[in-house]
Amino acid sequence: MKTIGISPHRRSFLRKAVTAAPAVALVAAAGVGVAASSNTQPAYRPAYFNAAEWATLQALVDRLIPANSDGPGALEAGVHEFIDLQMNTPYAYGKLWFMQAPFVPESPPEFGYQFHMAPRDLYRSALAGLEHAVQAKLGKAFTALDAAQKDAVIGELEQGTLAIGAVPPKTFFGQLLQNTREGYFSDPVHGGNKDMAAWKMINFPGARADYMDWVEQYGKHYPLPPASIA
């Protein structure tokens, strides 16, 4: 029979979470931001994407969630690093999906994903295809475009009007946008959402996971900073 109560795991986690909050406040007060301290770490080296893909991917996610005073941009949040790390999980190999042929990609959109590529192959094909399409159309690399031009290209992917080779442009756009949001808002344990800055922007407390005393505090700002499972 199980014993109900706070498990040792939860007790030690809470102790960690409680002591973490003042530590962050102290560092910030001393003028050494968490973001600044992370600059001293060696630059992330992608494990899956090659140099050209990596540059294009960064330029894309930077426009999907741009940096501004509202909160972190995708690059600050490490969305590109998250996507690279995901490429070595079963998900990226298509192991979570039903991938038996025949594929009927021209099925109506209501039937969901009907394309034969798993995320690894999809990114490889689409990033090269995008570079090729942009060179042909504008005579420049995607990374060399200005912000408005990049946004116009992304808008064409979203609308499905820019052919990028084997991958249907809307399929690539959907995959990229989903993974970008995941990298922005998932627990930092997965490599994105650095310093939980995206959670702080919206006031999501992450893994605090106990609001017994807040359920009936109607309309009050929740005061505690987020906690990660990391």
Which residues 58-117 are close enough to bind another protein by CB under 8 A? 63-66, 68, 70-71, 89, 91, 94-100, 102, 104, 107-114
In the list 141, 211, 224, 225, the residue contacting another protein (rule: CB under 8 A) is: 211
Pairwise CA distance, residues 80 & 127, whole Å: 13
Confirm or reject binding of residue 185 to another protein (CB under 8 A).
yes
| Total of chain residues touching another protein, rule CB under 8 A | 71
Q: Which residue, 104 or 144, is less far from another protein as judged by CB?
A: 104
Please give the Cα distance from 55 to 59 (Å, whole number).
6
Contact by Cβ (8 Å): 180, 84: no
Q: Rule CB under 8 A: is residue 170 a binding residue for another protein?
A: no
Tokens for 29, please give them.
């007060």
Which residues partner with 41 through β-bridges?
Answer: none
**Site of tokens 């989903």:** 178
CA distance 62 to 74: 5
Burial label, 97 (beta-carbon count in 10 A; 0-12, 13-18, 19+)? exposed
Q: Does 209 bind another protein (CB under 8 A)?
A: yes
The yes or no reply on residue 127 touching another protein (CB under 8 A) is: no
Q: How far is the CB of 42 from another protein (least distance, A)?
A: 25
Considering the complex, state which of residue 62 and residue 131 has its C-beta at the smaller distance from another protein. 62
Q: Which is nearer to another protein, 37 or 89 (CB)?
A: 89
